Amino acid sequence: MSYSVPGSQYPRADADIRQNALGILFLFLTAGVLVFRLVMTPHLMNMLVDYTNEGGPFYAKFHLGTYAIAATLVAALFCRPFVLAGDDISLFRALVRYAALMGALVLYLILAGRLGATGFLIDTYFTAVLTALVMLTQNEQSRRIIATTVLLILLASAVIAIGEALTQHRLMPFTEGEPFFRATGLSGHPLALGAHCAIAIGFVPLTRWRIWIKMAAVFVLFIGCAAAGARLALMLSAVEILLLLLFVRWPKLSSRHERQAKFIALLVTFFIGAVLIAVLLAGGLLSRFSSVVDENSLARVRIYQIFNYVGWKEILTGMDATDLLTLVNEKLGLPFIESAPVIIIMLLGLPAAIVFTLIVIRYVLRLLRGSEAAAKIGASIFILVDLSNNALATKTPDIILLTILIVGFRSSVSTAHVPARPRAGKAVIGGYR
């Protein structure tokens, strides 16, 4: 016996197949582009173009991943429709506003003759907003897949770092001279590796992995942080683990049983931590803690003396990046500027720096709205680690990484199915003809 199928259902079925195929395509494209931005370090970029080196054309000063993320966003907006529902609608609108504000700030700096200051603004912060928009064009399951993929990359980086510490050889190119070996993993710098391990620890509890896999992942990430020789990141990671144990809810337990389980977990954690510290000390991975105050830590304090060598005009209007570095070299004898506040103030000028800081704070807080406690703890620790150096004022993927993990693991009410007509509380954006 056979039944006839109305012919109108065939076009709808074909449209659904095409929509599913496009969804899978954009999932792989987005994940690939974002992973490329994270693992293509400045040293690798400099092998292709003068990315951070002196000279070279202006377009070469932006990461290839920046161009790829922008192109992916354009394709996602105009090649297929996608559904936004609930808080995603207001978040999408807020991100468009943040992108406009960043664009206006970049335009102001160009008109003010501060072209050199636009590099990290576009490559780090403006691209982070574009990344959030790209993530929102995916459904909730795809976002989680992308964030989990990035988390696996960070875990792989920690594993590689441990191997580097054991073999005393790096996988990725690293040209900076250091008095002792520090692993870099898949990142561009040991401090970046420490920060990446720290943020990954905070977002591991949000995965759907088994509990023993989560514990193993946190353990590996903590060891990877030690292999990087990042002292502050390691100490804050230890604090982060304790905060996660105390403030992250344990499902399927009553309040009384949860308190008992957390107490036992804290005792076990302290015991394992003491044994781990002894092992790390014996293995030489905590050798940097033998001297709490060294040249690196002093350099991050001495850099603020630069304000004694500049006038109010430079502080208020900013100055050229090359001139600033030359002044730091000559007056303070420091090879680098290890302070994000100093860089931001002296490149943008104090008024623009205040505006920029407020935009970034509002951006991060907006992303974290409605997020789980683990995400807030991980983001806070990550920002504290990055504030200890110049990561937030240079062309790094750190804010992009933070954006991916927050948006990827945040709760959403969006659905993968695109209805024929937008319903109340939903918005269908984009499309094709």
Task: List, in order, residues 6 or more apart from 19 with CB less than 8 Å away.
Answer: 80, 81, 418
Q: What is the pLDDT of residue 18?
A: 65
Query: What number is the average pLDDT over the span 337-360?
Result: 91
Residue, of 6 and 315, whose pLDDT is higher: 315
At residue 346, what is the residue type? Answer: M
Q: What is the pLDDT of residue 63?
A: 93
Instruction: Work out the mean pLDDT of the chain and round it to a whole number.
Output: 85
Residue, of 146 and 261, whose pLDDT is higher: 146
Share of the chain above pLDDT 70, in %: 88
Look at the alpha carbons of 40, 45, 48, 51 in this order and tell me if their dihedral is positive or negative. positive
Binned at pLDDT 50, 70 and 90, residue 206 comes out as very high
* Bridge partners for 83 per DSSP: 428
Nearest to 42 by CA among 54, 27, 52, 28: 52
Binned at pLDDT 50, 70 and 90, residue 431 comes out as low
pTM beyond cutoff 0.95? no
Nearest to 124 by CA among 209, 192, 211: 192
Nearest to 353 by CA among 193, 184, 56, 114: 114
Nearest to 399 by CA among 116, 345, 407: 407
Q: What is the pLDDT of residue 80?
A: 77
Mean pLDDT lowest for which of 11-20, 154-163, 317-326?
11-20
Task: With beta carbons less than 8 A apart as the criterion, state whether 150 and 160 touch.
Answer: no
Q: What is the pLDDT of residues 53-108, one digit of tens each?
A: 877 788 888 999 999 999 999 999 888 777 888 888 999 999 999 999 999 999 98
Q: Strand, helix or coil at 56?
A: coil
Binned at pLDDT 50, 70 and 90, residue 203 comes out as very high
Residue 131 reports pLDDT greater than 80? yes
Q: What is the pLDDT of residue 433?
A: 35
Which range has the top average pLDDT, 112-116, 228-232, 343-347, 379-383?
379-383
Residue 134 reports pLDDT greater than 90? yes
Quick one: which H or E segment has residue 334?
A: none
Q: What is the pLDDT of residues 219-270, one digit of tens each?
A: 999 999 999 988 889 999 999 999 999 888 877 777 777 788 788 888 888 8
Q: What is the pLDDT of residue 419?
A: 42
Q: What is the pLDDT of residue 415?
A: 38
Residue 408 reports pLDDT greater than 60? yes
**What values do phi and psi take at 362, rounded to 5?**
-60, -35
Q: What is the pLDDT of residues 266-290, one digit of tens each?
A: 888 888 888 888 887 777 777 666 6
Mean pLDDT lowest for which of 2-6, 215-219, 266-270, 400-404?
2-6
Exposed, middle or buried: residue 91 (CB in 10 Å: 0-12, 13-18, 19+)?
buried
Q: What is the pLDDT of residue 22?
A: 81
C-alpha dist (Å) from residue 136 to 33, 73, 150, 413: 15, 10, 16, 12
Residue 5 reports pLDDT greater than 70? no
Binned at pLDDT 50, 70 and 90, residue 414 comes out as very low
